[in-house]
């Protein structure tokens, strides 16, 4: 149990040169582990004649080919795993581009590492044993709920595992249980704040809330200001992905000048998303992570598709671990709708099995209030339009159910007449995202 300013002062404030030395040692072990235990990595290395011993410095990292989301999809579920099946103790998942989810398979030591990183993250924002944390990230396959839960257990806070939904009840619990930390997506935080205002709750009077840990989707400083003002709290950005562990990859400190990446567990690079060329610190590009301590499903040079930039200077908070700027976007077509990752190809997969529909579809996203609206417009086929037996209401319900099964979230389906959706001459435009600038 930590006390003082840092969870692990030695590691968090370690001089950069020493962190790099530690990273090289761990990188060599991680590469050896991958080569010796994962058929996937061994094949990848053998194909270009690379041996684990060729990786002796951080610069050598560039010799290793990138790992991408489709590698996980193609090797679903356990083709990339680097331990015996019995050593996997927990599995999480997020959306893949097609029917297969992206799996995170963790060993006991991976779970310990994740818990430690989440504990450090909660501690960094000021969370302590005396706090009461309300976790309104979804529990289950999504890493948000349980990731925070494990970290909070290690810090020793009182945990309210609220998960998603039932907004009014969540607010009541926050009030009655003297909740001091709120952990959820930033859009749900805005929604909670709006609902509190409608219910006449004055956070600074009625609640003990003081900190918020928000992530899993992009948000802006404008939204931070709004949440901080409306909830009377300090808000922190938290970043992570299932493939690396879940939340706990990086965390904003009280200086609010970037998110510290836990460099004793990850090496970060930024690359040009088009050419793959490695960029210098400070240049904006796609984040690429290499895990240093993972045993179940290690990731060597994993392309996240998240766009950001890195600042390696020591932070005023005393931590030396490099900081990433807020994620500003993605270099692929993945959409994050109400905190859930959704690929347009999943919608295509869901709607194309209905013979009553033509092949055009359009996803329309908006954010009129705090939460995203998600509409899928589909076109009736000429044949179905002419057929008096076609029951549009039944069809709409069936499509909505199907989309929910495939993506895990609810969409509003609108069935339009044949030929009504816009056609383009070049690449089909499948997404109309009107949320930009609203968050």
Residues in contact with ligand DLL by the rule CB under 6 A = 94, 137, 142-144, 215-218, 237-242, 246-247, 304, 306, 327, 330, 336, 341
Distance CA 343, CA 95 (A): 8
Cβ at position 219, least distance to ligand DLL in Å = 6
Give me the residue whose beta carbon is nearest to ligand DLL: 215
Q: Identify whether the C-beta of residue 406 lies closer than 8 Å to the C-beta of residue 365.
A: no
Cβ at position 198, least distance to ligand DLL in Å = 26
Which of 149/377 has CB closer to ligand DLL? 149
Which of 303/319 has CB closer to ligand DLL? 303
Q: Identify whether the C-beta of residue 29 lies closer than 8 Å to the C-beta of residue 82.
A: no
Nearest to 259 by CA among 325, 215, 329: 325
Cβ at position 4, least distance to ligand DLL in Å = 26
Three-state DSSP at 290 gives: strand
Which of 300/413 has CB closer to ligand DLL? 300
Which of 83/235 has CB closer to ligand DLL? 235
Distance CA 152, CA 147 (A): 9
Distance CA 427, CA 437 (A): 25
Distance CA 431, CA 411 (A): 14
Distance CA 342, CA 98 (A): 10
Three-state DSSP at 369 gives: coil
Output phi, psi for 271, to 5 deg. Answer: -130, 160
Q: Identify whether the C-beta of residue 267 lies closer than 8 Å to the C-beta of residue 302.
A: no
Distance CA 159, CA 179 (A): 9
Which of 26/92 has CB closer to ligand DLL? 92
Distance CA 297, CA 244 (A): 8
Cβ at position 187, least distance to ligand DLL in Å = 11
Distance CA 276, CA 178 (A): 49
Cβ at position 139, least distance to ligand DLL in Å = 12
Which of 309/377 has CB closer to ligand DLL? 309
Cβ at position 305, least distance to ligand DLL in Å = 7
Cβ at position 120, least distance to ligand DLL in Å = 14
Which of 136/358 has CB closer to ligand DLL? 136
């Amino acid at each position: 149990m930590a006390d003082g300013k840092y969870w692990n002062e030695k590691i968090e404030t370690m001089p950069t040169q020493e962190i790099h030395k530690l990273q090289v040692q761990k990188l060599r072990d991680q590469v050896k582990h991958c080569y010796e235990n994962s058929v996937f990595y061994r094949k990848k290395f053998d194909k270009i004649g690379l041996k684990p011993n060729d990786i002796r410095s951080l610069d050598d990292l560039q010799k290793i080919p990138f790992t991408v989301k489709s590698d996980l999809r193609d090797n679903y579920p356990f083709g990339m795993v680097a331990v015996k099946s019995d050593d996997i103790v927990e599995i999480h998942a997020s959306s893949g581009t097609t029917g297969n989810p992206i799996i995170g398979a963790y060993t006991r030591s991976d779970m310990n590492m994740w818990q430690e990183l989440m504990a450090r993250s909660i501690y960094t924002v000021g969370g302590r044993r005396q706090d009461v944390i309300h976790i309104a990230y979804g529990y289950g396959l999504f890493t948000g709920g349980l990731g925070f839960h494990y970290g909070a257990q290690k810090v020793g806070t009182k945990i309210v595992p609220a998960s998603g939904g039932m907004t009014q009840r969540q607010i009541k619990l926050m009030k009655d249980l003297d909740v001091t930390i709120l952990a959820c997506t930033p859009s749900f935080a805005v929604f909670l704040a709006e609902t509190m205002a409608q219910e006449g709750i004055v956070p600074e009077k009625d609640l003990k809330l003081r900190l918020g840990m928000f992530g899993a989707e992009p948000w802006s400083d404008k939204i931070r200001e709004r949440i901080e003002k409306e909830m009377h709290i300090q808000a922190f950005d938290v970043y992570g992905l299932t493939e690396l562990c879940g939340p706990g990859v990086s965390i904003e400190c009280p200086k609010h000048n970037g998110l510290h990446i836990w460099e004793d567990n990850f090496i970060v690079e930024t690359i040009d998303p088009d050419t793959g060329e490695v960029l210098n610190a400070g240049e904006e590009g796609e984040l690429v992570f290499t895990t240093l301590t993972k045993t179940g499903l290690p990731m060597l040079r994993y392309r996240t598709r998240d766009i950001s930039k890195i600042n390696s200077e020591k932070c005023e908070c005393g931590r030396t671990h490099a900081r990433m700027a807020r994620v500003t976007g993605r270099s692929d077509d993945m959409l994050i709708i109400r905190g859930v990752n959704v690929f347009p190809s999943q919608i295509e997969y869901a709607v194309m099995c209905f013979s009553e529909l033509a092949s055009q579809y359009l996803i329309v996203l908006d954010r009129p209030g705090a939460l995203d609206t998600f509409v899928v417009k589909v076109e009736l086929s000429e044949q179905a339009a002419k057929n008096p037996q076609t029951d549009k209401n039944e069809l709409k319900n069936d499509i909505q159910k199907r989309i929910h099964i495939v993506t895990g979230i609810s969409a509003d389906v609108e069935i339009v007449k044949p030929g009504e959706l816009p056609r383009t001459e070049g690449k089909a435009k499948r997404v109309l995202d009107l949320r930009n600038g609203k968050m």
